Chains A and B, each alone.
Chain A
Amino acid sequence: MENLIGLLIAAPLLGAAVLLCGGRRLDRVGHWIGCVLAGASFVIGVVLFAHMLALGGEERTLREHLFSWVPVGGFQADVAFQLDQLSMTFVLLITGVGTLIHVYSTGYMEHDERRRRFFGYLNLFLAAMLLLVLADNYLLLYVGWEGVGLASYLLIGFWQHKPSAATAAKKAFIVNRVGDMGLSIAIMLMFTTFGTFAFGPVLASTDRASEGVLTAIGLTLLLGACGKSAQVPLQSWLGDAMEGPTPVSALIHAATMVTAGVYLITRSGAIFNASPDAQLVVVVVGAVTLLFGAIVGCAKDDIKKALAGSTMSQIGYMILAAGLGPIGYAFAIMHLVTHGFFKAGLFLGAGSVMHGMNDEVDMRKYGGLRTYMPITFVTFGLGYLAIIGFPGLSGFFSKDKIIEAAFAKGGTEGWILGGVALLGAAITAYYMTRVMIMTFFGEKRWQPDAEGNEPHPHESPKSMTIPMIVLAFGSVFAGGLFSLNEAFVKWLEPVTSFEHGHSPLSAGAVTGATVAVMVIGVALAWAQYGRRPVPVAAPRGSLLTRAARRDLLQDDFNHVVLVRGGEHLTRSLVYLDHTVVDGVVNGTAASVGGLSGRLRKVQNGYARSYAVSMFGGAAVLIAATLLMRAV
């Protein structure tokens, strides 16, 4: 059974190799190769899952040692996989949702002439993400981590003929590099502290290291997580990443990429548990991001960017939960999985809408689409109900647990975090209702474009609607199934450990509050967008709205502080180099040159001047001799 673990990664990797090296002769079948290999990986995942269920709770960790990668003295890096409950959850999410997105892409990318290449990149993305979650040491995880970064770069910039897409891809890559640096420093710190970077030994021996070192490792790990998961302060790439084709957005936001940060923090739980300071920073980052993303999501008129803000906010919830320690890890992962279902569904729905609307993304030019696209409307609507936490749907169970865990943090912190999480839930309900109303309700607002082509909204082909329907089922039922008898928590408990939090509020009160704020959010959005017609041109809006439209000035902040600051720093360093360093070198050269110029004049070639120096020298010698004698 263990031998199958390698195959999980090998299948999509083979797909990527075949599709990217196969050339044009594969153009007609390439997308099916991609789907089949992604599906094969999912099937292997299910087989392993079934095998794992048959084992006892503590024996469910499967290992496969492939080969020794870098055996140098005390430095042992192995290519070895570890499949435990946490990895298994990710494997099923990645391959399951990933396969659905592959199928969807066969319809969505039908008219793109570079479709084969697109599927090659998608397969590469899956392979890298699987490597990331299956690695049994941090160095191999880092390989997958970088692979994910590469694949996201290739996919975000897939339409690289558009300058905006090329720029967005570069931005995502560069911002991710900052986070990657954090992760690589964390790995180096681990190696110097523990002498190894395999999960088992590192996480089992956290008591050997001082708390300061553990805090440093935790914070650098968090920096890495912030980059991949688009958390403040490294969040700026996520909105621009919408330049990629919509299935890519779904893949990045639901199954791969942004979930990597949550995985990293949950996997390294032992390090964070031992360092309360690092944990505090994690929850603060999560809480700030959850509000940040939600506020940005409220102001965007671009349907994909509104959803991107929402992802940022939901990942904020997960990071917040992961920062709470053993009371939160399981819920972070549970929310991650339910979010994987409904966010993939929402993005695929958005793609379906765009597909029918000539790639228009401005929600102000949608309206009343529910009659034109009934299947998209229903599946998107179910995803919508799930994300706002409508009682009984997936998002309700997972988000409610996170809010409860936040209150259970205890003390003032608990109240603040719980309040922030509740506020986030209200804003989530508001912006998602806004998206829903602007897209599917009200009057139709679309007009002919510049060339006079009026969009003819129509339902998407089956290849696109079927994945959406499957995901809608997940959005509805996953949360309930996971919460049944606390099945999900018990499943993860051997890996992440679990403690029941002691919330100052009763579970019923938290649930009531969650539902109440959701209703308030929905009502506010309905009052603003449902009761009166939505203007086609965006109103000027308040100061906050305008700031939120510009992603709360994150790019401006980065530009002023980092770009300008960097430029000034570079310029002053260049100035320093020119004046001081070059000055010393050039000054030495010039003074030696000048001195030699002077000395050269002595060598004038006249015999008598040489004679003078000879006589002078002799006179000095004689005088010196006489003087010495006299003394």
Chain B
Amino acid sequence: MNPVNYLYLSALLFSIGAAGVLIRRNAIVVFMCVELMLNACNLAFVTFSRLHGNLDGQIIAFFTMVVAAAEVVVGLAIIVTIFRSRHSASVDDASLMKL
């Protein structure tokens, strides 16, 4: 199978994620879309690693996963805090830069 197809898939996943971030209002869904975009990138890295025959892309994919895990921790904590004070997880409600 031609590895370039993985790149197409990666672009597709990235676009879906981006569209989700822009369109959806539920903070959890937006968050999951961000994860989707990160993982689309990971797929692209790994594919390029395969195409170029070296391990650089795979190493960067690992970095991305670590960063994503840390980001999940912080992001979920913020979302939970907002939900507690507003009883809603809509990103549009949190538009005032204050609780």
Q: Say whether A448 faces chain B, with CB atoms less than 8 Å apart.
A: no
- Is B22 a contact of A606 with CB atoms below 8 Å? no
- Is B22 a contact of A605 with CB atoms below 8 Å? no
Question: Smallest distance from the beta carbon of A100 to chain B beta carbons, Å?
Answer: 92
Q: A611-B22, A615-B18, A615-B22 are in contact. Are A605 and B91 (CB under 8 A)?
A: no
For chain A residues 591-623, which have a beta carbon within 8 Å of chain B? 604-608, 611-612, 615
Residues on A with C-beta less than 8 A from B91 are 606-608
Question: Smallest distance from the beta carbon of A604 to chain B beta carbons, Å?
Answer: 7
With the chains together, A615 CA to B23 CA distance in Å? Answer: 13
Q: Say whether B2 faces chain A, with CB atoms less than 8 Å apart.
A: no
Q: Say whether B94 faces chain A, with CB atoms less than 8 Å apart.
A: yes
With the chains together, A608 CA to B33 CA distance in Å? Answer: 13
With the chains together, A352 CA to B97 CA distance in Å? Answer: 93
Please report the number of residue pairs spanning A and B whose Cβ atoms sit closer than 8 angstroms: 22
Cβ-closest chain B residue relative to A605: B95
For chain B residues 37-64, which have a beta carbon within 8 Å of chain A? none
Q: Say whether B71 faces chain A, with CB atoms less than 8 Å apart.
A: no
- Is A612 a contact of B22 with CB atoms below 8 Å? yes
With the chains together, A607 CA to B95 CA distance in Å? Answer: 7
Residues on B with C-beta less than 8 A from A606 are 91-92, 95
With the chains together, A605 CA to B97 CA distance in Å? Answer: 7
With the chains together, A604 CA to B96 CA distance in Å? Answer: 8
Residues on B with C-beta less than 8 A from A611 are 21-22
Residues on A with C-beta less than 8 A from B21 are 608, 611
With the chains together, A608 CA to B94 CA distance in Å? Answer: 11
With the chains together, A392 CA to B88 CA distance in Å? Answer: 121
Interface string of B16-38 (1 = CB under 8 A from A): 00100111010000100000000
With the chains together, A606 CA to B95 CA distance in Å? Answer: 5
- Is A605 a contact of B18 with CB atoms below 8 Å? no
Most A CB contacts (10 A, CB to CB) among B25, B95, B97 go to B95
Residues on B with C-beta less than 8 A from A604 are 95
- Is B18 a contact of A607 with CB atoms below 8 Å? no
Residues on A with C-beta less than 8 A from B30 are 607
Residues on A with C-beta less than 8 A from B22 are 608, 611-612, 615
Cβ-closest chain B residue relative to A603: B97
Question: Smallest distance from the beta carbon of A421 to chain B beta carbons, Å?
Answer: 93
Question: Smallest distance from the beta carbon of A342 to chain B beta carbons, Å?
Answer: 95
Top 4 nearest A-B pairs (CB, nearest first) are: A605-B95, A607-B91, A606-B95, A608-B22
Can you add 11 more A-B contacts, CB < 8 Å, to A607-B91, A608-B25?
Answer: A605-B95, A605-B97, A606-B91, A606-B92, A607-B30, A608-B21, A608-B23, A608-B92, A611-B22, A615-B18, A615-B22
22 A/B residue pairs, CB under 8 Å, sorted by A: A604-B95, A605-B95, A605-B96, A605-B97, A606-B91, A606-B92, A606-B95, A607-B30, A607-B91, A607-B94, A607-B95, A608-B21, A608-B22, A608-B23, A608-B25, A608-B91, A608-B92, A611-B21, A611-B22, A612-B22, A615-B18, A615-B22
